[in-house]
Structures are given as C-alpha cells and as structure tokens.
Structure 1
C-alpha cells in the first residue's frame, strides 16, 4: 500500500499542513516524494543509482581534473601536498558529501542545495539563504564546463606540440578549440534523458578504465632509470619535502594546494540536481553522492601517489613551454609514444567530463529558472516537448561559458580564476545549508530514509569548519609583499566577490520584493483541523 503524500519523510518548503493533491492523477512513489516538496514531475525518471553515479563520476572526471589542476596541487606544496595533504583534504570533503547526501534524501529535487537552504533557514531568512546559495552554486556550475574544456583543449594542443616541437599554441587557438568543444557539448546535452544516461554510462565507464590504465602504465612504463634516476623517488622525499611554491609558511602552502583536491572532487553534488530524473531518488541519489566522493577520493589519491613517486623536476613541470603541466610531467618520466597514449586517454576522459558538467549545470539553471531567479526565466525553464530536457537552459549556460573563456586572453593567472571560482563557489553553496542544518535547525529537520543518525551533527560540524577554513585560503595569491603584481594576483576574491556582491546588491535593491524562495507548482489543498473531513469531500 502506497504512503500518503503527507507521510513522506521530507523537509518541505510547503507551509505546515499544506498537502499536495490531484483528483485526476495517482502519484507514483517518486512523484509522491516530489509532490510533498511542492513540485510536479516534469522529467522521465530514467536514471538509476548506477547511471546517476556514472554522470556524477563523469563530472568528477578524476584523470582530466587532476591533469587540469596539477599546477596547483603540485605547484603550491609539491609531493607532500599530493600525498598526506590529499588525505587531510578528503576528511573534510567526505564530511561535506555525507552531510549533503542526508539533505538530498530529505529533499530530492533539482533545486538541491538552494531548496535546502530555503527550507532550513530560520523564519524570514529562507529567501535570502536560497538566493545566496543558489547564485553561488550556479556560478560554480556554469564555470565547470568551460574550465574542464579549457583543460581538454590545452592537452590537445600540448599533444600537438609534443609531436611537432616547433609548434607553440596561441591563446587564440586555445579559445577557438575550447569554444568548439563547448558547442559540441551543447548539442549532446540537448538529447533525451535516456540517450544522455547511455552516453554518460559509456563516458563514465571509459573514465574509470582510463584511470586504471594510467595508474598501471605510469609506474610500469617509467624510464627514469634510463635517465640516471632511481625508478621511484624515495618515500622520505615524497612524503617529507614541502615544495616552496608559495611565499607563505609550509603549512599554509599545503592548505593552498587543496584547491586542486576541492576542484577535482566538486562534482559529487550532481546526483542532487538529477534527483527528479532518478528512480527511487530519496535513496539512490544520496547513495550516488557518497559513492562518487568515496570512489573518487580513493582513486584520486592513488593517482596522486603515482605522480608524486615518478615526477623528476617540479620546476620544469611548472615552467614548461607546453602550457600544460601534466603533459610536461609525462615527458619527464615516460617514452614519447606512451606520453601520447596517456594524453589521448586523458583528452577523451576530459571530453566526457565536460559533457557531464554541462548536463548538471543545465539542471541547476532549470531549477532556478523555475523559481524565476534569472532574467528571462520563463524561457530558460522551458522543457523541450520532444526531448523532455531543459534545452534552453543548456544553451543559456553554453553561451555564458563561452563568454567566460575570454579570460584566456588575460593569461594563465586570469583563466586560472575559473578553477578557483568553481572551487570556492561550489564549497559556499555546498555548505550553507549544511551550516544552517547544524547550527540553526534543531528538530525542524525531518531526515529522509538515508541519514547519518546520531553522527549527523558532528559530521556536519566538521564539514562546516573545513569550509570556513578553506574559503579564505582559496583566495590567497602564491606571492606576497613587493613580489605581488597584477599578473600574479589571485583574482578569485575579486571576481567571485564582485559577482556575489552584485547579487546581494540586487537582493537589497529589488529581488527581496519579489523573490520568496522555491515556488511550488502542484495543486494542493490545506489539511488543517478539518483536513480529514475536507479530504473526504474531494
């Protein structure tokens, strides 16, 4: 016997006693949960736990993510940051993932963290909490695909440079190639849900297999010995030496290197945004979140160890003319044919990752447009009648992403801001509802079927503390004092801060008058004191 919609274990934005109702439609189990949150089902539920995990793991894209952020992970603290630094960072990240999964089980909707912030905030503060969380999350999502695709394009051009040493990629060529990849992903992300699930299953499977192959190929194929070096660097050197990649104390440098871990591991929120397309969402989606973070963290650390034990010269990796540190690292320790083979695997995995990012971002844009957060929301929230996917949202994000790629012409530091902005924006969005849940909610939170039990508040406190520590760290430049110039400045605080300040000014000047948080779009009836009587009259 199916539960009544009012009995679903959800924490809903609906006022107390407000029960969704339809006299012409019998809710399925998933529709019932969504209706209890105030929404009608608009997508086909063709994602399962496995296919949701596949999209999420594709967005995580460990191999291309690692390759794209090696400059920060290795460049700030060297191999120490890549080994024990990764483990420390993963404690905080896994705490965030588990706390997020608990929220997802209680509120399995595409609005995700934005919806959770609105529901959990103290009375009167819900719209502002949703506004800040939503815009921060959107900034992280909309910069994900262009930053991933920029890394992929840079690897393609680096491979061309390896084959032809006389060729030096230009910013103009990198921009055009990245834009071309963005347009391909826009077309692919506009396909029907079932097709997307199949594509991402293939892509995620390839990502996992490529990662395993690379984990085997690098230590098995390294030619360090032919260069007069031991096959692997000693553990004492790998774990003990902190590379002086910044002008800050060693401990701060290790914390600064966490930007690579945070950005690499930031895709585990995707199951939350795909919850309305997933069957058995209030269990499958949170499981996919935790599974993505755990599997990604384990495999990611293995990749860090392999590179840390085989890198020859960190200075040469960072200063290579190739413009891609991962390619420069591979040349140091592998024969050229093997270098090109690994780059090919990484490029294909990066292509799949960029497409997964585009899908996840479009669902976030759709959910926020559904609540009229954007100018022109009536257009961006439309679901295509044939594909039953938010095609307009896909191309809206694609256009914004291409515009953000103009940072390429500002140099490596400027385009690098995309990675830092993605990390800090995602972390602020991830943790705002968790922080509210831990310190302000009390017993108002109604746990879903997947929950942390008595460990909920301690794990949430660890997650909140980790993010509070990391947000200012992510804004630090690598140099300071008289050495700090505009070219070496960390532009994260300025770019992210300016955008979020604009969002807050918009709130004060105008948005607070009309934005009231998530908008319900289901028919409903009030079941108050005479609820049972009125229910029987329908």
Structure 2
C-alpha cells in the first residue's frame, strides 16, 4: 500500500510506510480515518499520520497548485498596487538592486517553508508545524501566535487586492474622462462588489476552482510577459524630448529620498512592496490536502512560485525603473493610482489603457485566488476550534465539497476592513503592510523553532534542503527579524509626523495580535491545545512509540495531544 513518497525513516534507520508508524486512528467523535473497504493511498496515509481524515478530493496537481499560488502572487497587479512603496520610498535603486537583496531573504523563507510542507502537508500548514516543533508545553502558544498572524495576513489579502483592482478600474475611467475624479465612496462600493463576486466563485467545487485558477494564472503569466515587452517597446519618452531609457547610472545609483530616514533605511522600507508582492507562495501549503502527491508536489509549487515570481518581478521592476519620467508626479497624481499615473507619463493613452486592462483582469484572478487560500486557512483553524462559532466555519459543503461557510466568513470580515478606505490612503495602505508583516511572522515562526529548538532532530519529508537546511533557515529568520520593525516605520519624522502621516501598521496589526494574546492568557490557554492531533506522529524521529493505543513518554509534539484510546492504525491494517 505504501509507496516511496509515503515512506519515512525511523530513528533506528529502518525505512517503513507511514501506515506502519505507531499511530491511532480514532479521531474526535469516534471518527476513524480507516475504512476496511478502502485501501489508503500515499496521500491519505500521510494525512492520517498527521492526525486528520481526508475530507477533500485531491484534484490539484503540481501545475494547478502552482497556478493557484502564482495567481495569489499576482505579480502584475501586486506590483501595480504597491508601486507607491517600492518607488516612493527609495526610487529606482530600491526597485533594481533593492529587489535582488530582498529576494535573497524571501527565497530563504520560501525554501525553509517548503521543507516544512514536505514533512507536514496539511491545510493547517505553518500553524500545525509550529505546534509540532515547539518545545514540550509551548506548542499551543506557538500555534496560537502563528495561526492568528497567518490568518490576519490571509484575511486582508483579498480586500487589499480587490481595493487595488477597483482603484485601477476607476483610474482607467479617469484617463478616459479627465474631468472625472474617483471618490472614496465609489472605490468602496466597487471593491465590495468585486469581493462578493469572488465569494461566489470561491464557493464552487474544487475541480472548477482548479480549472478557473489554471486559466487565471495562465492569463497572469501571459499578461506579465506582454507588459514587460510592451512598456519598453511602446514608450513615447523620445517624443517628449527625453532619451528612450534613463541611464543605468541614474537608475541603479540614485536613491530617491522618499523618507526622512537615511538612504539605506529607505531602501529597506521599500521592501514592503517586494514582501507583499511575494507573500502568496504559501498557498500550496494550505492546499496540500487537495493536492495529489502532496509531500512532493506542494513544496515544489512553493519554491517554483517564489523563484518564478522573483525573476519575472525583477524584470517588471527594471522596465518601469528605466522608463519612469518623474517619481514626484507619479506619487502625487490625481488619478489615485500610481501605476496608472506612471503609464500616462511614458506611454500613449491607448497602450496605457491596454496595460491597465491586462492588470485589472490579472488582479481579478489574483483576488479570487487569495480568497480561496484564505478560506482553507480559516477552515483548518476552525477545525481545531480556534474561532468563536468554529462549528459553522469548519463545515464542508456536501454539494461542492469545499468550505463554503469559511469563504463567506472571510468575505464578511474583508468587507468590514474595506471601510479603511474612508480613513485615507495611509489607513487603507495598512492593509498592504499587515499582509507583509503578518504573513512573514507566520512564515518564519515555525522555521525559527525548527532551526533553534529542533535542529538535526527534525524529520524531513521527501523534499528537503539537506545540509543547507539550517543555514537557510537562519538566514530566513534573520531577514524577517530585521524587516518587521522596518516595515512599521513612518516615512516622516519629527514635527512632520502627524496622525495623517503616521504608519498605522503597528496599530492595525498590533491591536488584533494584542487582543489575541490577551484572549490567550485570560481564557484560551485553558482550552486551546493546538491542532487536534490524536496520534503519535513521531515527527522528530525519536524512538518512543505508542503501543496498543497507550501514549509513550517523551512525545515529540509541542502540542498537548489527546489521549490515545484506540488501537494503532498499523495494528488495524494488520
């Protein structure tokens, strides 16, 4: 029954199937992830050994998982939505060599995450990994922090993307009719309308979702290539008395003083655009329970998404950096969308509208991908009763076999967040900063635990980094530790710092996390025990075992697992 991908190596060095691991098959409510009339495949074995029953159809492949992840990454619309930060804080220098520096840290995070995904391919993803890897007794708290930070990043993704799409649509209307200036009210209504459409689409069956996202991701990639080619080919800078391209010495060597901080800090602050743009590659982790051959295909999709996004994103940064005319005019345009203002500087109107149309369609696909990924995270956390009324959010719709309730729970919260539009550009801009910080704190917490608390005792999956695992994990942890405070800095200091110019990220992200921590110490620590793992998965490869349903001493999981009342799955299979 077991195959190569489902096999693991025990502490004694003997290779065996996950089905032969000393595990229990009795889950909460007497649910048993074993049917004598059904032979477990490799994916079902791995998931059962992690403590869960397969509830989704595995209709995602490496390619379709990559498609969802690349759609969530949404390079073109992400770049368009965050141009204010990438260009506005450090100018073209931050967009060129700054992108390369940021990608070194980001790629380290992605590879370390992929290694965790191969070892623990479950929808809980990072939250599950933190609980398993944390020192004994600390698993629930590690899972709580990781889970809430990751959920904040996920639940803000769709509204921030859809806000960017709405702003681009209204900017295109403004280009067509220069007398029209978009209002906050119109942007809000259009954003909500787009979110409702995405909610309906994300409630469809998995097979349809895979096909829709394959098409959306394909369009995203094609649109990105077209724009990368079209901008340098179609620029009309020469007709405006300028050279076709800005000189390399100016593009690479001039740091635009968009903040009151030293040039080096300004470049680091511009990384918010890179980090937010590149924060969607965790989607394969959350879709692992719907992916076949998940412990190989899902980590490959993570690394492929990050690497592809990094390379093509840099190409897009380059063509914009070499053709922008005036950064000040881009940032101060009445269009309300810096990317549209940039295109108007250096492109004919028809080409500008064509590029905006491609970006809008790509952004629409990206927003839908974000909502799918967020719903899987909400489902996974509700399955472990993390939310109030979790029993509703963890339900899987019998018709579509997807977590429809979780989709609409996230959609409702996203619509409430969109009210930040009425607080001004900096207030709604906090959605992007939250996405960057929340996601990378969640990404790195289990990586930090794995590197500094587990070390060589970590049981890697079939996709792993080998001897480079610890150095790459240390680099990833150091990069995020540096960037979290940097991303909370305001662009101005001293007397210029007012409520209107403050960076509200620390409040909009910090307040919910502070609330979650207060909840933990007041109440949650009494009942939240981390992922409901009812098996001894031996993730760290220790020799202790569970025999005849009795829990052995020295459990490797940081979370407090429930008593193991049933016989081992290996015994049942015998």
Instruction: Provide the aligned length of Structure 1 versus Structure 2.
Output: 535
Q: Aligned residue for 1:378?
A: 391
Q: Aligned residue for 1:18?
A: 23
Distance 1:211 1:443, change over 3 A: same
Residue pair 1:10, 1:37 contacting (<8 A) in 2 also: no
Q: Aligned residue for 1:453?
A: 466
1:223 to 232, 236, 246: 236
Establish whether residue 297 from structure 1 lines up as the match of residue 310 from structure 2.
Answer: yes
Q: Aligned residue for 1:205?
A: 218
Residue pair 1:10, 1:448 contacting (<8 A) in 2 also: no
1:96 to 91, 98, 109: 109
Q: Aligned residue for 1:502?
A: 515
Residue pair 2:162, 2:194 contacting (<8 A) in 1 also: yes
Distance 1:452 1:5, change over 3 A: closer
User: In 2, distance between residues paired with 1:271 and 1:164?
Assistant: 42
Q: Aligned residue for 1:477?
A: 490
User: In 2, distance between residues paired with 1:503 and 1:215?
Assistant: 43
Give the Å deviation of 1:27: 1.2
Q: Greater helix share, 1 or 2? A: 1
Q: Aligned residue for 2:415?
A: 402
2:210 match: secondary structure: helix
Q: Aligned residue for 2:163?
A: 150
Give the Å deviation of 1:526: 4.5
Q: Aligned residue for 2:571?
A: 535
Residue pair 2:268, 2:483 contacting (<8 A) in 1 also: yes
Q: Aligned residue for 2:2?
A: 2
Encode CA deviations 1:229-284: one digit per residue, 9 max, x unaligned: 00000000000000000000000000000000000000000000000000000000
Give the Å deviation of 1:22: 2.7
User: In 2, distance between residues paired with 1:75 and 1:456?
Assistant: 36
Encode CA deviations 1:335-366: one digit per residue, 9 max, x unaligned: 00000000000000000000000000000000
User: In 2, distance between residues paired with 1:9 and 1:70?
Assistant: 47
User: In 2, distance between residues paired with 1:204 and 1:374?
Assistant: 31
1:429 to 430, 442, 445: 442
2:204 match: secondary structure: coil
Q: Aligned residue for 2:373?
A: 360
2:319 to 280, 284, 306: 306
Distance 1:456 1:225, change over 3 A: same
User: In 1, distance between residues paired with 2:66 and 2:572?
Assistant: 42
Distance 1:164 1:521, change over 3 A: farther
Residue pair 1:39, 1:520 contacting (<8 A) in 2 also: yes
Q: Aligned residue for 1:268?
A: 281
Residue pair 2:49, 2:535 contacting (<8 A) in 1 also: no
Residue pair 1:5, 1:32 contacting (<8 A) in 2 also: no
User: In 1, distance between residues paired with 2:115 and 2:161?
Assistant: 28
Residue pair 1:5, 1:36 contacting (<8 A) in 2 also: no
2:280 match: secondary structure: helix
Residue pair 2:22, 2:536 contacting (<8 A) in 1 also: no
User: In 2, distance between residues paired with 1:267 and 1:43?
Assistant: 22
Taking the TM superposition and a 5 Å limit, the aligned residue runs for 1:164-175 are: 164-175=177-188
Give the Å deviation of 1:532: 9.1
Residue pair 1:8, 1:33 contacting (<8 A) in 2 also: no
Give the Å deviation of 1:23: 5.3
2:250 to 237, 248, 273: 237
Residue pair 1:5, 1:19 contacting (<8 A) in 2 also: no
2:281 match: secondary structure: helix
Give the Å deviation of 1:445: 1.4
User: In 1, distance between residues paired with 2:460 and 2:570?
Assistant: 29
Residue pair 1:19, 1:527 contacting (<8 A) in 2 also: no
Give the Å deviation of 1:533: 13
1:335 to 317, 338, 348: 348
Q: Aligned residue for 2:527?
A: 514
Give the Å deviation of 1:494: 1.2
1:518 match: secondary structure: coil
Encode CA deviations 1:282-331: one digit per residue, 9 max, x unaligned: 00000000000000000000000000000000000000000000000000
Residue pair 1:527, 1:535 contacting (<8 A) in 2 also: no
Task: Give the RMSD, CA atoms, in angstroms.
Answer: 2.2
Normalized against structure 2, the TM-score is what?
Answer: 0.90
Q: Aligned residue for 2:335?
A: 322
Give the Å deviation of 1:529: 10
Normalized against structure 1, the TM-score is what?
Answer: 0.96
Q: Aligned residue for 1:36?
A: 49
Residue pair 2:23, 2:536 contacting (<8 A) in 1 also: no
